[in-house]
Amino acid sequence: IRCDWFTPAHTSGYDYGIESTLVNFYHENKVGAWRAEIKPWASTELSNAWGYIKPKLAYRSTHYDFDDGRDDISRSLPVFSLDSGLSFEKWHESGSYKTIEPRLFYVYVPEETQDDIPLFDSRRLTFGSNMLFQTNRFSGADRQSDMNQAALALTHRSFAASGAEKWNLTVGQINYFDGQSVQLDGVPQDLTKSPLIAEYNLYLHKNWNAGVSLHYDQESQDFERGLLKVQHKSNRGDVFNFAYRYRTNKVEQIDSSVVIPIKESHRLLSRVNYSLKNDKTIEALLGYEYKGCCWALRLMGRHYLVDETGLTNNGFYFEFQLNGLGSLGRNPRRIMKQSILGYKEAF
């Protein structure tokens, strides 16, 4: 059971709001809990045509009420970030142009021991270009990473005369000023730099794009991660994704997913994520969506790997939605968004 609230506002050059979440975790053989989180935040932005500076301060307060009688746990931490960037343009006689965009992102979160909090939905996020500008190394709310770091990135973009982006190249790296004490396994790390990230995206056609991402570990002098992806999106809502992922001695996967509209009211969805290294299906799902004039129906079957020991599970998800009023069921939309790149709710 999950409920989310988000209330942004804007006044006199400042943005502010409150993000809040209430979740109930239940497991037949493990500890369950109610988890309530509230995060008020405020930010402002100083910007012009060639650059910007955006400081943001948030206060993340999380409380756990366990169902096995153990004492409640609360955790409250400030999260400060400072995002800044510049943009330089070079125009050509044809009307096309290129940009060079340096960006500096600093974030600070103090250290707080969190080993007494069970892991309900937190996982370590896959390191990539998007991680250069995050305020947490983990998904979910069970762990808030301690952070004192600055990410420096440089992006080079090329645009056609129409304004459509043709390609972009980003190179970036994080510099750590302190060790990283908060970890999922409780073992601190003491890194000074992240791997060097290089990411290239090519927009072949208005409906096709491809990308390559490489992570270079300067300590081992090796490319520790690689990603090749291709995506097709049509105007009528078709989506096709294919990706190949590689991580030295750990991961070698292929990942394919589709969204297929059938007339105006029906859609089929599917994803298969397969490990070539372990010869095992990591996740396979098949979904169906129907939209009527005032109601919608979603069905989804899912087979997935639970943990690294090879344990698998099967799930069936059903949702009935009255447009504009609410829904009943297990909300497969969240899983579809996480599993299928480019998936959007049509209703």
Give the model's pLDDT for residue 4: 59
CA distance 129 to 60: 24
Residue pair 20/39 in contact by the 8 Å Cβ criterion: yes
- What's the whole-model pTM score? 0.79
Tokens standing for residue 219: 């300590």
Sequence-separated contacts (24+) of 224-229 with Cβ below 8 Å? 224/195, 224/248, 225/127, 225/195, 227/128, 229/341
| DSSP helix/strand/coil, 335 | helix
Given this model, what pLDDT does residue 192 score? 92
Distance set, CA 174 to CA 33, 105, 132, 243, 333 (Å): 35, 9, 6, 25, 33
Structural tokens at position 189: 């790390």
**pLDDT surpassing 60 at residue 133:** yes
Q: What is residue 100's predicted lDDT score, i.e. its pLDDT? A: 97
% residues pLDDT > 70 (the chain): 95
Confidence of residue 307 (pLDDT cuts 50, 70, 90): low
Predicted confidence (pLDDT) at residue 173 exceeds the cutoff of 90: yes
Q: Average pLDDT for residues 243-263, to the nearest whole number?
A: 92
pLDDT 10s digits, 184-241: 888 889 999 999 999 999 998 889 999 999 999 888 888 989 999 999 998 888 999 9
The set of residues, in sequence order, having a beta carbon less than 8 Å from that of 26 and lying 6+ positions away, is 32, 67
The SS3 of residue 137 is coil
Lowest mean pLDDT among 16-25, 120-129, 306-315: 306-315
DSSP string for 46-106: EEETTEEEEEEEEEEEEEEEETTSPPPEEEEEEEEEEEEEE-EEEE-TTS-EEEEEEEEEE
- Kindly tell me if the per-residue pLDDT of 324 is higher than 70: no
Say how many residues make up the chain: 347
- What's the confidence (pLDDT) of residue 309? 67
Q: What is the pLDDT of residue 149?
A: 97
The DSSP call for residue 133 is G
pLDDT in tens, 47-91: 998 999 999 999 999 999 999 889 999 999 999 999 999 999 999
Provide mean pLDDT across the span 119-142.
86
Which pLDDT does position 5 carry in this prediction? 66
Distance CA 198, CA 170 (A): 6
Selection from 167-171, 187-191, 319-323 with the highest mean pLDDT = 167-171
Q: Looking at residue 3, what is its pLDDT?
A: 60
Q: So what's the pLDDT on residue 308? A: 66
Picking from 247, 199, 252, the residue whose alpha carbon sits closest to that of residue 223 is 247
Answer yes or no: are the C-beta atoms of 169 and 200 closer than 8 Å.
yes
